[in-house]
Amino acid sequence: MISPISVNLNPELYEDPLAFNPWRWQDESKKSTLLKNFMPFGGGLRLCVGAEFSRIQIALFLHTLVTKYRWKEIKGGEVQRISEIVFPKGYHIQIIPREESIN
């Protein structure tokens, strides 16, 4: 069984894999290797049939979350990176609706 997060965090494939670097895909000399190994929804014959739908759902959710709400941390948030990213003590937040500005 392949764990996509383990492949995506492999330092042999990605320089500093834990760093947020959306420009890593622009290096033309590494592009074919990176794209062959990046697997957010699986690939090949077993490509997730709902991959595109889930991308749209996630984009809509995140857009609504950041434009209509704000949040504050209550407790937790310590991150552990193993074969996946986990919050061993949980991550508790309070979501608060943003106040609409009156024009």
Binding residues for heme: 48
User: Strand locations in 1-84, DSSP E?
Assistant: 69-76, 80-81
Annotated binding site: 48
**Closest C-alpha among 9, 7, 13, 11 to residue 30:** 13
Beta 85-86 vs 80-81: how paired, if at all?
antiparallel
